[in-house]
Structure 1
């Protein structure tokens, strides 16, 4: 499922179950005290707790905080109004929460054959979006931004495409680095046309860009589909990983719904001393408030590794 449709469909699924009985959600079935955060820093997204907290993202953030979550991520932050970006940032700061990734590319051009071509028009788009992202990040308190280099350019060898991507990312890094911002390159499994698909490939590109503003986004759902061996591949690319995301496979739902042993994976990440964010970029296996409570319990179970 493509990123531009994923969160919309997640939110729509929840919206069909959101009724005037919202007040009944004030007493959740499964709740941890607000002062009982998880061992790792998991980040919910807009729509994930819509049935329990309502449609307003600010209310969802507060609900997430009350259940122990300490971060959010929002792929569509660039498209929100500056006023809402700042309101989200102010809310997070007040609660002591963190802002995770948003997608840096406007108009979803990262799904096209773009940076691999080496063409100036795509470099210009990247530079424009990076400059816009600096302002967005300041308003919402973000540090990390997702970048996807685009699809294969069939007229060029893999090596020339790689060189083109590295050159473009070096230019983008020069915009972000002075502000302490980090673009994280995501390896995806959505379709075989995507250029960036494997952790060793992203690791090599980050090494070549050689900037603290260019790191890897290791989405464990995508990597389970593309290469498996999650713990070993995390270890091999650890120096260049700037951000992690979660999703069980098959199905791209919460931990415990597929084949991946997330309790062991989380334990390994914790033992490595990871202090960053793990984005909950997945759907929910059950509907309604019951499904959202089951999701919270699934994270409590998987996070119970100490």
Structure 2
């Protein structure tokens, strides 16, 4: 999630050199930003590179840009001050970077569930959507993550699904005039969550029937919940607006787990995907060395052309 201006001497070349001792940066050659750009648009988050860039948000963004990253993801944007939101937006514009998702977070979204149909939860969701529009304008965001909440044991699944669809229609009405897309994220964190599978999310998006209600396909969560990644991506493709990354097990950078990200990224690129791939995962290693290893891992799996 961060980075500092010493990075001017650390810009990654189009190919990272690995030494025989296993050092990830080894002897990194100087490169301009055009040479450092990735094939796909991977989006780090704040704090991911703080060993190199420190705590300042602007310094972190500059480090990301110098390493060839073209977008930012910031789940906690709504919790930031208006001043910080404006600083982020201004810096992204200056660096020519895009804003990825932030979370439409009106509290503990997992427990304040839209499945219940309770008016207080729906009102909270609608009000948070309105706040999200204002925050999105400050950073030029186009996507915002929505999690419907927990499974409601006292209601049949069909009723829960209908409650979620009706609430999402309310959200879509708010977002549509502003070109903002809420992306629904099926998760694997706990079986208590209502939204867990790509086909379920696909059906809900079809029912809401809005350009402002699409799927956030998180590869880490979907590997845990259903696997068969490429076929399921294809099946849901016309409703997928955003993709996130994380290897399994561990939820760290590509190459630390079982997912063949080189093949997955090649497939996504072949489908013509021009959107953002959010790096919603931790660093496998600590400190600067771990940050360098993470960047090297993305260089490796991005070499599919």
Q: TM-score, normalised by structure 2?
A: 0.91
How far, CA to CA, are the matches of 2:129 and 2:54 in structure 1? 32
How far, CA to CA, are the matches of 2:203 and 2:214 in structure 1? 10
SS of 2:109's partner is: helix
The change in CA–CA distance for 1:23 and 1:141 in structure 2 (over 3 A counts) is closer
The change in CA–CA distance for 1:241 and 1:223 in structure 2 (over 3 A counts) is same
The change in CA–CA distance for 1:283 and 1:135 in structure 2 (over 3 A counts) is same
Query: What is the match of residue 106 of structure 1?
Result: 106
Runs of 4+ in 1 over 2 A off after TM superposition: 22-33
Unpaired stretches in structure 1, ≥5 consecutive residues? 1-10
> After superposition, what is the alpha-carbon deviation per residue over 1:125-160, rounded to whole angstroms, capped at 9, x for unaligned?
011000000100000110100000000111100000
SS of 2:34's partner is: coil
How far, CA to CA, are the matches of 1:105 and 1:24 in structure 2? 35
CA contact (8 A) 1:33 1:67 kept: no
CA contact (8 A) 2:7 2:63 kept: no
Any residues of structure 2 matched to 1:226-265 within 5 Å, and which? 226-265=225-264
Please state if 1:48 is matched with 2:42: no
SS of 1:63's partner is: helix
The structure with the greater share of residues assigned to helix is 1
SS of 1:284's partner is: coil
Unpaired stretches in structure 2, ≥5 consecutive residues? 11-24
How far, CA to CA, are the matches of 1:274 and 1:25 in structure 2? 30
Query: What is the match of residue 166 of structure 2?
Result: 167
How far, CA to CA, are the matches of 1:24 and 1:209 in structure 2? 48
SS of 1:207's partner is: helix
Query: What is the match of residue 81 of structure 2?
Result: 81
Query: What is the match of residue 154 of structure 2?
Result: 155
Query: What is the match of residue 7 of structure 1?
Result: none
Q: State the Cα distance separating 1:26 from its structure 2 match.
A: 5.8
How far, CA to CA, are the matches of 1:141 and 1:246 in structure 2? 22
> After superposition, what is the alpha-carbon deviation per residue over 1:75-117, rounded to whole angstroms, capped at 9, x for unaligned?
000011111101101111111100000001222x211051000
Q: State the Cα distance separating 1:33 from its structure 2 match.
A: 2.9
How far, CA to CA, are the matches of 1:245 and 1:71 in structure 2? 13
SS of 1:216's partner is: strand
Q: State the Cα distance separating 1:202 from its structure 2 match.
A: 0.1
Moved more, 193-202 or 289-298: 289-298
How far, CA to CA, are the matches of 1:264 and 1:223 in structure 2? 16
Q: State the Cα distance separating 1:58 from its structure 2 match.
A: 1.1
Any residues of structure 2 matched to 1:1-306 within 5 Å, and which? 27-28=9-10, 29=25, 30=28, 32-36=31-35, 37-107=37-107, 109-306=108-305
The change in CA–CA distance for 1:103 and 1:258 in structure 2 (over 3 A counts) is same
SS of 1:35's partner is: helix
The RMSD of aligned alpha carbons is 1.6
How far, CA to CA, are the matches of 2:6 and 2:33 in structure 1? 20
How far, CA to CA, are the matches of 2:281 and 2:48 in structure 1? 9
How far, CA to CA, are the matches of 1:168 and 1:106 in structure 2? 14
How many positions carry a matched residue from both structures?
A: 287
How far, CA to CA, are the matches of 1:38 and 1:25 in structure 2? 17
